[in-house]
Chain A
Amino acid sequence: MEDDEIVTAFKRAGTKENAFTLLVKKYQEKLYWHIRRLIPAHEDANDVLQNTFIKVWNGLGSFREDSQLYTWLYRIATNESLSFMEQQKRKAAVDFDQLGEAYSNSIKADSNFDANRLEWKLQLGIRQLPDKQKLVFNLRYFDNMGYEEMSRVLDTSVGALKASYHHAAKKIEEFIKNH
């Protein structure tokens, strides 16, 4: 089902629940991995995904369709992830560096972790970045998002996003070369 059809069906009382189920099935994996690349622990990512879909349920009825549905979904998932990470920092009373270290340890604790594989080094390299840079890099590198679309998700100018992505990519490459 196309996105506009899902939205139309959602706005009708009789088809609302079915439309929502279809939407969840269509986007759950994409949104999950978007969240999981920011929040390494599966349980936490699952919680954030649940919260994201609750917000979608509450807000889709008034979705204006002046942007793409998936842009709107990514925006909600991003905000929920950032809120969660802020909460983690406050709860643990840690700063960004300490949280980054905690997240790196979480990656290394994964049952699939293999320090020799480039894919895992890439993940550890991404962990070194500030949250916003991490987001920009993930959206472009993994989700193939264009800068225009990204600026709608993150509410940031295209120029700033380009600079952020270039900087992030160079830092990650440097990290991989040194580890």
Chain B
Amino acid sequence: MNNRKDINEELDAIAPLLKNISRLPVQSVPEGYFERFSMKIPAVSAPVVKMPMVRKWMGYASAALVAGILVTAGFIFTDRNVQPFNYEQYRRIDVPAEMNKLTDDELQNYLVTATVLSGAGHTSSPVSEEINETITAETASLNQVSDEELEQFLNENAGNTDIK
């Protein structure tokens, strides 16, 4: 009650109107609420047992070991079927000589086929069209050269493999 006396004196000084207002609760409460109020004792929850740190780290280490074994095995077994690339056989090929053996038709067929297989959707590409035009132009100009002139050209350049 000492507090109540102090509180009233305090209110006299700051807000005297509040001093004489009843402090009893005015809000409504369902009838018999406090008589019926009871707390259900909360169920005892299972104690949480914390895993010891050592066991935790051993678990991580085991998991890492298994993962390492699986990855290593994966590398070993998938690599067996891959043959080492034989660079040597391709280094020995004389490409210019082999190219000279090809006919114009074979070259043209290659260009057309390669363009179709690459999925360009065209039966010819700008590059092969340009080559076609070049071959056609060159064939046309060759037709204007006489047989004697051709023979003379071939005799002068016999054995020259660098003719472009």
A residues neighboring B (CB under 8 Å) = 17, 20-21, 24, 28-29, 32-33, 36, 40, 42, 46, 50, 53-54, 57-58, 107, 110-112, 117-120, 122-123, 140-142, 144-146, 165-166, 169-170, 172-173, 176-177
Contact = CB atoms under 8 A, between A and B. Distances in A.
Interface in B19-53: 21-30, 33-34, 37-39, 41-42
Contacts of A53: 39
B28 A144 contact: no
B7 interface: yes
B3 interface: yes
Interface stretch (B9-17, B129-137, B139-147): B9-17
Given A50-B39, A172-B15, A140 B27 contact: no
Contacts of A28: 34, 37
Contacts of B17: 173, 176-177
Nearest to A112: B28
A170 B34 contact: no
Contacts of A169: 11, 14-15, 18
6 contacts: A42-B27, A42-B30, A112-B27, A119-B21, A141-B7, A145-B3
A148 B17 CA distance: 25
B139 to A, nearest CB: 83
Nearest to B5: A144
Contacts of A110: 26-28
A117 B18 contact: no
A173 B42 contact: no
Interface of B: 3-4, 6-7, 10-11, 14-18, 21-30, 33-34, 37-39, 41-42
Contact of B3 (A36, A119, A123, A144): A144
Contact of A57 (B14, B28, B29, B41): B41
A32 B7 contact: no
B124 to A, nearest CB: 66
Contact of A122 (B4, B21, B30, B37): B21
Contact of A119 (B4, B15, B26, B34): B26
Given A144-B4, A170-B15, 9 more contacts: A21-B39, A29-B34, A42-B29, A119-B21, A119-B26, A144-B3, A165-B10, A169-B15, A177-B17
Given A58-B42, A111-B28, A173 B34 contact: no
Nearest to B3: A144
In order of increasing CB-CB distance, the 8 nearest A-B pairs are A169-B15, A173-B15, A144-B3, A119-B26, A112-B28, A53-B39, A173-B17, A118-B21
B23 A142 contact: yes
Given A20-B39, A118-B21, A142-B23, A42 B15 contact: no
A74 B7 CA distance: 19
B26 to A, nearest CB: 5
Given A42-B30, A111-B28, A169-B14, A141 B38 contact: no
Contacts of A42: 27-30, 33
